[in-house]
Structure 1
Amino acid sequence: MGFNVEPTELETEHRLGPFGLATIKPYSRTRRSVDGSALMKVYLGIDPEGRRLREVKTVGLAAIRGFSVPAVMATGQDRAGSWTVFRMLPGTSCSIGTSRAIEEYLGHVLDVAGRLHQPAAGPPPGSGWMAGPDDPTTQHHFLLDQLSGRCKTMPWWASMEKALQPLESHPVVHLHGDLKPEHLLVDGGVLHVVDWEASGRGPAVVDYADVVFHLVRDLIYEDAPPGRFPVDRMAELPLDGPVLAWRLILWLDRRRPSDIDLISTHDVARLTAEEHPAAACMELARVVSFLRAAGVPR
């Protein structure tokens, strides 16, 4: 008779804890051990078990490729949900608090991307670094499949689908999937990369769109002065108006149900039409500013 040898979350807490109070995010609940050596992450919301398996596998592969990543101390699925305990890494999260901090952060992004975005010969686009039987066979469907079915009923859907089709000429590379300041930890001369649950295989522009989207959104929601917007620096990244539009819609799609109704066909058309990276960044900033004023939560 077979049996499950994975430890339960409670057993792991007794062995590696105790753990402190939880920090709740939209798609995870995390708790640090009292001695600071471990972090327990419980996956919430969209496909928690798939995200757990994807992150555990990708962390192992990223370590083989030379990235400094958090070691997996325990992982499992039980009545409490899908969870993983990672060894805590030293270092401080990147910041966007000053123009200099933003410059340093973007430098770290380019370092990570240069090592990460090597062509993934063979596997089609999809989630994680290992191909699965149900992975999309096209780049633009890899992105569109991440949006909810409700998006397909929106008047801008057909134009978004058409605007993303040129991605088929891009090589498939390994993606982190959620590059932002808090996922890059600086420890002296060492850069640690954490939170790999959204990892995937697809066009490199997806990672750069993540970087720019989070940077623009966070600066706007923090009421940053115009001088903090590094438009020229962001324009040096391989950006793409249609992918920025897709990333914006992905954010709205995962907020309150009514928030997706706030973006118009005109907004989508203007952003997807932008061919110059600097113009695309400014158009993104315009739309995000409008959405913030309309009450969309960060």
Structure 2
Amino acid sequence: MPKIAVLQMTSGIDPEANLAAIEKAAVEAAQADAMMLFTPEMAILLDRDRKRAGPWIESDGPRKVVERLEALQMELDLDIALGSMPVATGAGKWANRSFYFDEKSGGPILHYDKIHMFDVQLATGESWRESNAYEPGTEIVTVDNTPIGRLGLTVCYDLRFPALFEALGKRRCDAIAIPAAFTRPTGAAHWHVMLRARAIEASAFVIAAAQVGKHEDGRETYGHSLVVDPWGEVLLDMGGEESGLGFCDIDLGRIEEVRRQLPSLANKREIPN
């Protein structure tokens, strides 16, 4: 039964400090015999001040992070799912990009660009316009042959768009990563119920590493990194107060067991417009 590690973070505005926290967690995860490490959205740099963040994003900083994590993965023999970090696309905007580091693929490092931009005005007065700086992704990405089977990649706000998860269900993903930096108000209202729903709909494990607490850029995030099984049962909830490393054993037999009992993927029919 493969063991996974989930890192709940309070990432700040210093990429080096954030990367050091991930590297430390990776060593601890490997020492605990975990086969995979999952980190939150914007694990390397969480900074709403785009003028301050821009010089690092536009520099070779993101490339160096990729190189260090690639080397770390090989050293520890630990797959690393970096929830995301900002990268320059060369087209005038940035991408909110996830990476999956493993040595089995034998090709370029797999990555996924967040498709759905967080453009909202909350009742609390918080305003977010991710599309002002970020270019949305256009490709659905899955990673085959991970220690927990086929893994679908998503990021945070993607959670609210069932069509993406329907597509991942059609690809028969065994697990779906949903790294996040959810706000406290939206997290308290919707986080648990939506993650459980996505796991049930896809008959797959959901692994949601999250940001937590008060950050250097002034925001507050909800935390509650979760692992949910295909039946919707919460196997791990890391709470909403502190950063840290959590572990969960993944019973892969549970996937087929649930799909036999409730074959919603097999029974699904196309609905006419």
Common fold by TM > 0.5: no
Q: Which has the higher helix share?
A: 1
Q: Which has the higher strand share?
A: 2
TM-score, length of structure 1 as denominator length: 0.26
Pair member with larger Rg: 1
- For CA contacts below 8 A with separation 6 or more, give which structure has more relative contact order: 2
